[in-house]
Amino acid sequence: MIRNKTLQDYEQSINQCVRCGACQAHCPAYLQQRNEGAVARGKLAIARAMLQGEVQTGAHLTEDMSMCLLCGSCVIKCPNKVPTDKIVGAVRRELSRQSGVSLTSRAIGAITGSTSLMKKLAQAVRRVSPAVFRKIPASSGLRLRFPIQGMELRTIPLFAPKNLFAYYPEYQPGDPDKPVIGIFAGCGITYLYPEIGKYMIEILRLLGYSIFFPHDQGCCGIPARSAGNGPVIEKLVRQNVAAFSRRRVDYILTGCASCHAGIGELPETMVGPVEEFSSKVMDIHVFLYQQGLHHSLSALPRSTSRIDLTYHDPCHLRTHGITREPRELLQSLPAVRYREMENAGSCCGLGGTFSIAHYEQSQKIGALKAENLKKTGAQYIATACPGCMIQLQDAINQAGLHTQVMHTLELLHSTLTHTADISRLKELLPSVNTNQ
């Protein structure tokens, strides 16, 4: 049986908080509100009181728990490494259990919990968007959302004409001597940015790997975790474990930082047989780096015309220590002049439901990121998370900048398939280590 961990499961971790305040200076939500309920130690005090039956559920408690981006910055700085982000998720689920699932949580659960509904909704939204959204600018795929009070200036991407499942079969054979790669796409890549999924699959195919891309996989569960919808999380975990058990895979690669956390952290958030599934999960940048692709790319002749590029660390990679691999891959590209951004690892401000419930604060956090981006003078900013791409582009638009947001895989794919010295590239690619 697979189930969510409860507050009782986290009791020992909750009691490890010594209220030292190390988390305070690094919490983006607290820095906006300066409210003790927004910082990690305040939330852990609430969790402890809930365990002891000393607090009652209510709007104030729900509000305090909503002031968290689940970014994990507090966990990194905590001397006892208390998993506050996981505990906040457990508190939100407990609040939903006691007080009922909110309308927002039910909506998120209904959409992300059903692959068929997600497909239908994506097409429906695309059809009605011309009447509901306005392109900003007219040539852009970004749209201005105006029906929701307080979010009139928010820009969001348009759903893609076709989702990623429509482009690829479930299985594509490759070199039998190389590992079989499972592809976990996630909702953002599948429905908003299928081109990222294409880059991911085509890079791996170019390198000779067999690909298993099960079409019955679902959402990673991060939106439901953010919304406190426990039953949907459990349903999605069972669905994804079953989907990837239909064929032997050596790795399950993700191109989305949030998905990497959603399915890679299951042993930390769930009780039940999830270890084998999660043990195969790996971020694609780590995989390509381990295979030595950055060495092959670095050996290519440097381009005489290069773009100025910087990088934003998604929280769900940074908290897993994945910072070096994306940078070294980007720096190895012959047409890139890399510029490091100040506070590149600070949260962009999305935080799942945080940006819905607290858009003003989310926007302010994004504005800080836009200011640091402006200082680099970079024409492009790369990142490894569709959610961060949405938030960064919104912050850039609000700041009036002209920087373009892209996924790291777009740049890698472009180099691998459009280099002028393709014969030299083919000589280099076999040097990539594919034997595990």
Indicate the pLDDT class of residue 94, thresholds 50, 70 and 90: very high
Can you give the pLDDT at residue 270? 98
Can you give the pLDDT at residue 138? 62
What is the arithmetic mean of pLDDT over 154-181?
93
- Residue-wise pLDDT for 284-296, tens only, equals 999 999 999 999 8
State the fold for domain 3-100. Fumarate Reductase Iron-sulfur Protein; Chain B, domain 2 (1.10.1060)
Look over the chain and give the mean of its residue pLDDT values, rounded to a whole number.
90
Find the DSSP H helices in 280-399: 284-290, 293-298, 315-318, 324-331, 354-357, 359-376, 386-399
Six token digits for residue 242: 């079953």
The residue ranges of every structural domain in the chain are 3-100, 105-157, 164-289, 294-418
Can you give the pLDDT at residue 62? 87
State the fold for domain 294-418. Rossmann fold (3.40.50)
- Residue-wise pLDDT for 96-145, tens only, equals 998 887 888 888 888 999 988 888 888 888 887 776 676 776 666 666 65
Same fold, 164-289 and 294-418: yes
- On whether the 164-289 domain is CATH 3.40.50, my answer is yes
Cα(first)–Cα(last) distance of the chain, in Å? 32
Can you give the pLDDT at residue 299? 87
Whether pTM exceeds 0.75 = yes
Residue 93 has pLDDT above 50, yes or no: yes
Where does 84-229 show beta strands of DSSP type E? 133-135, 142-145, 155-157, 171-172, 180-184, 210-212
Indicate the pLDDT class of residue 427, thresholds 50, 70 and 90: low
DSSP state of 342: T
Burial class (CB in 10 A: 0-12, 13-18, 19+), 283: buried
What is the arithmetic mean of pLDDT over 220-237?
96
Bridge partners for 426 per DSSP: none
Residue 316 has pLDDT above 80, yes or no: yes
Q: Quick check: 263 and 286 in contact, CB under 8 A?
A: no
Can you give the pLDDT at residue 355? 86
**More confident call, 419 vs 411:** 411
Instruction: List the single range of 227-231, 365-369, 422-426 with lowest mean pLDDT.
Output: 422-426
What's the rounded Cα separation, in Å, for the pair 417 and 433? 20
Please count the other Cβ atoms lying within 10 Å of the Cβ belonging to residue 152.
10
